[in-house]
Chain A
Amino acid sequence: MSCPDWNDLTAHRYAPDGREPAGWEAALAHLDSCGRCRRRALAADPTLLFRHAATSALPAGEVERIRVSVDALRRAGRLEAPERRSRRNRRRYGSVAAALVLAALALLAVGGRFDSPPSAPATPVAAPPADAASMRFGDRRVAPLDLATPPMVEAIDRPGARIYQLPQEDLSLVMIVDESLDV
């Protein structure tokens, strides 16, 4: 190839569309073997200088070092993967369980506001002394001394049913009476 006109060739490279001119690759090949063209080309386009930037070979053993490092990274990734998976699963199930507990608590809280518990115990009241066990004292009935502490009666929301609590010194007796039961 004869020496090309480098001013003309390189001018194309600085046109806004940046297209390289026809025959550019052949001109570059010629440039590598023609000292005169090298000077002219660099004068026309100094950036061609960078084609001569160092392309030094890698230090001896560098490729093997890269291979060994990549191998180690791969193996580390392989070991890490199952562990990461199980950690991820633990996290996932843990958060599901926590969400369920929170949801249950929220439901209880909301439900409790609209629906009062049906078996909420009424405040127990003292039962009147029973006829048989009481003694007449003037116009009044008085419980015998050993029944001085009257049983507590608690009503529940079931007709005819009551709970008696008979507090004794060393024994607490609870009786549930339900008239509707046919025994």
Chain B
Amino acid sequence: MPHLVYSRAEERARWSEADDRELLAALRDDQEAAFDALIERKAEGLTRHAVRMVGDAEEARDIVQLTFLRVWLHRRRYSARWSPNTWLYRIATNLAIDHLRSRRGRDAQREPFRSHLHAVVESRRNAALAELDRTDVANVLAELAGGLSERQRAAFLLREMEGLSSPEVARVLGCTESTVRNHLFTARKHLRRELLRRFPEYAAGRVDPEGEGG
């Protein structure tokens, strides 16, 4: 029996088999179902990255939505020379950096979060370190990353958390590899120093969020 009804969900399912490059190529032909499939595939990773960049889930969601909107608006500018992930992370990272810069003046508003974090850490000071969960670690990272420049933070997160290689990070940030290494060096030094100074219980090899193993 012929299909007389257009089903976007069916179309989306068809595109779910395609690889990232095929999806981006299909966007050039205004294939909305391919765009849906791309969102389904990339939203989670981009949201995770955006949360780490801006430290706020709501703001991160806005950034991810804007990222996809830009992908659609600039779909004809995508060049196959780019790795799809690099292109997407470049857009999201630039939006997050812009957002962080515009938020600088409002940093005082984050003071309550800071106090809350210190209270949590203090209450757990004597607790078994193995109880410290990944969310706490994420909060500590968010707190300490506040002392990095936007680009240092982006370089560190992309390299250490997203696992991008240094050349890929350089393409995302639109700079040279040596600049990326410089950002990484500065970021690591700052984070190590501040972690030891402000959250020593998390450092010095005493923390094992996943318990003993191996």
A residues sitting closer than 8 Å to B (CB atoms) are 13-19, 33-47, 49-58, 62-63, 66-67, 69-70, 73-74, 77
Contact = CB atoms under 8 A, between A and B. Distances in A.
- Most chain B beta carbons < 10 A, residue from A13, A43, A54: A54
8 contacts: A33-B213, A46-B196, A46-B202, A49-B207, A57-B44, A66-B43, A73-B65, A77-B73
B17 interface: no
Contacts of A38: 205, 208, 210, 213-214
Contacts of A66: 39, 43, 47, 61, 64-65, 68
Contact of A70 (B39, B138, B191): B39
Contacts of A13: 184-185, 188
Identify the 10 closest CB pairs spanning chains A and B, nearest first. Answer: A43-B205, A34-B214, A18-B181, A46-B203, A18-B185, A54-B134, A53-B138, A54-B138, A35-B212, A42-B205
A34 B210 CA distance: 11
Interface string B174-203: 000010111011001101100110000011
Contact of B40 (A36, A45, A67, A73): A67
Given A17-B178, A49-B195, A73-B65, 6 more contacts: A14-B189, A47-B195, A49-B202, A49-B209, A52-B210, A54-B135
Interface in B4-47: 36, 39-40, 43-44, 47
Contacts of B196: 46
A8 to B, nearest CB: 16
B137 interface: yes
Interface residues of B, number: 48
B120 interface: no
B202 to A, nearest CB: 6
Contacts of B160: 47, 50-51
A14 B48 contact: no
A50 B141 contact: yes
B211 interface: yes
Contacts of B212: 35
Given A39-B208, A42-B205, A74-B69, A63 B135 contact: no
Contacts of B61: 62, 66
A50 B191 contact: yes
B191 to A, nearest CB: 5
The listed residue with most B CB atoms (<10 A of its CB), out of A36, A38, A53, A58, is A53
